């Protein structure tokens, strides 16, 4: 059976008034997202889920949809598409946003939704020796970014979106702005990379000054900052710590900007380094963050402190790393060893 959520919208099967209504709703959703300053990734995910939901409704106007339609869609995702629990929860959040903020309907109590099974997975963690082996396969700016992922416990996009003003060499700290859940936090700046980071920023500043001389040098700003301080986009403090190599033209403002380093380039480099290091674990950029937390626990650091460094809302999330420590040789002694 074909998946109704993956078909392209058929203008021939939808009445004209339904097509107009759908388009208007999607535009209102985008406006509500901008008004609440949700992240780009959250905005993209919400819009995609809402579009899939409207396709699932098969030609019905959004104003005619209700809780039973949401229940049917979420159940379909769990039973037919076999999505994970986190994916189903993301779809649920998107549809709640649609009904609360745009359609102005209350559907909080969804009955009879078949929930996707929540798989319990332990995080992939590298040993210290494996981390060093991977880093030794990397060079230059990409190695510096990987060292920040491991040494500071940052998520991939938190690292790439660092601004110059977020680095505090005097206090040996990095301020993570607008992390997951739009939360700010502080984490340590390892002494091992301080000089390397200073040298890197000297090169970035030289490039920025050259950009300004050539009529560029702008950077994307949070919307409220760009309105209040129109010229802040060229200031040194707001520049990306890891800017992209190319300049792009922003059509709405006419500014010539640099985006931050693209995540796919670092992901590819890390994956290649893992392979060259001879590591068979299913590791990725995020594995550095898992390893950061696990190694701090191995060193006897307090779990509450690690929770703050990682930016977890609940210590329950952080406790997954204690399960990693309790496996195999780090936990109990094998009965085979007692035979000797």
Domain match, 285 and 205 both: yes
pLDDT at 38: 82
Domain match, 140 and 218 both: yes
pLDDT at 182: 80
Residue 306: domain span: 128-325
Give the CB-side neighbour count of residue 104, counting CA atoms within 13 A: 1
How deeply is 27 buried, as exposed, middle or buried, from its count of CB atoms within 10 A (0-12, 13-18, 19+)?
exposed
pLDDT at 122: 84
Domain match, 98 and 219 both: no
Domain match, 80 and 147 both: no
Q: Mind listing the pLDDT tens digit of every residue in the chain (340 residues)?
A: 445 444 444 444 555 556 667 888 999 999 999 888 788 888 999 999 999 999 998 878 888 898 899 999 999 999 999 998 889 999 999 999 999 889 988 876 777 788 887 777 789 999 999 999 999 999 999 999 999 999 999 999 999 999 999 999 999 999 999 888 788 999 999 999 999 999 999 999 999 999 999 999 999 998 788 888 989 999 999 999 999 999 999 998 899 999 999 999 999 999 999 999 999 999 999 999 999 999 999 999 999 999 999 999 888 889 888 877 765 555 566 676 677 6
Angstrom distance (rounded) from CA 5 to CA 55: 6
Active site members = 155, 180, 286, 289, 312, 321
Q: Is residue 166 part of a domain?
A: yes
pLDDT at 332: 63
* pTM, rounded to two decimals: 0.79
Q: Is residue 164 part of a domain?
A: yes
Q: Is residue 7 part of a domain?
A: no
Domain match, 214 and 164 both: yes
Domain match, 86 and 182 both: no
CATH number of the CATH domain containing 181: 1.10.443.10
Domain tally for the chain?
2
CATH number of the CATH domain containing 71: 1.10.150.130
Angstrom distance (rounded) from CA 146 to CA 242: 12
SS3 letters across the chain: CCCCCCCCCCCCCCCHHHHHHHHHHHHHHHHHHHHCCCCHHHHHHHHHHHHHHHHHCCCCCHHHCCHHHHHHHHHHHHHCCCCCHHHHHHHHHHHHHHHHHHCCCCCCCCCCCCCCCCCCCCCCCCCHHHHHHHHCCCCHHHHHHHHHHHHHCCCHHHHHCCEHHHEECCCCEEEECCCCCCCCEEEECCHHHHHHHHHHHHHHHHHHHHHHHCCCCECCCCHHHHHHCCCHHHCHHHCECCEEEEEEEECCCCEEEEEECCHHHHHHHHHHHHHHCCCCCCCCHHHHHHHHHHHHHHCCCCHHHHHHHHCCCCHHHHCHHHHHHCCHHHCCCCCCHHHC
Domain boundary among 102, 117, 144: 102
């Amino acid at each position: 059976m074909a998946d109704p959520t993956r078909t392209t919208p058929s203008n021939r099967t939808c009445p004209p008034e339904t097509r107009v209504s759908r388009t208007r709703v999607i535009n209102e959703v985008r406006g509500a997202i901008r008004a609440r300053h949700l992240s780009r990734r959250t905005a993209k995910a919400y819009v995609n889920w809402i579009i899939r939901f409207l396709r699932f409704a098969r030609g019905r106007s959004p104003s005619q949809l209700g809780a039973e339609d949401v229940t049917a869609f979420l159940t379909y995702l769990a039973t037919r598409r076999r999505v994970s629990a986190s994916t189903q929860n993301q779809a649920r959040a998107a549809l709640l946003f649609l009904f609360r903020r745009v359609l102005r309907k209350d559907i909080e109590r969804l009955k009879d939704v078949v929930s996707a099974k929540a798989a319990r997975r332990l995080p992939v963690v590298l040993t210290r020796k494996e981390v060093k082996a991977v880093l030794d396969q990397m060079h230059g700016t990409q190695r510096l970014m990987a060292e920040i992922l491991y040494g500071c416990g940052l998520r991939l996009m938190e690292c790439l979106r660092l601004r110059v003003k977020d680095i505090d060499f005097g206090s040996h700290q990095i301020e993570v702005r607008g992390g997951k859940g739009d939360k700010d936090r502080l984490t340590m700046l390892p002494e091992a990379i301080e000089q390397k980071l200073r040298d890197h920023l000297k090169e970035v500043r030289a490039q920025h000054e050259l950009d300004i001389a050539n009529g560029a040098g702008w950077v994307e700003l949070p919307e409220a900052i760009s309105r209040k301080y129109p010229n802040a986009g060229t200031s040194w403090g707001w520049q990306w710590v890891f800017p992209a190599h190319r300049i792009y033209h922003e059509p709405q403002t006419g500014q010539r900007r640099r985006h931050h380093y693209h995540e796919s380039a670092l992901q590819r480099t890390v994956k290649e380094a893992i392979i060259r290091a001879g590591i068979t674990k299913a590791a990725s950029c995020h594995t550095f963050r898992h390893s950061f937390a696990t190694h701090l626990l191995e060193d006897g650091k307090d779990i509450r402190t690690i929770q703050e460094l990682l930016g977890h809302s609940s210590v329950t999330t952080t406790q997954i790393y204690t399960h990693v420590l309790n496996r195999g040789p780090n936990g109990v002694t094998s009965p085979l060893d007692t035979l000797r």
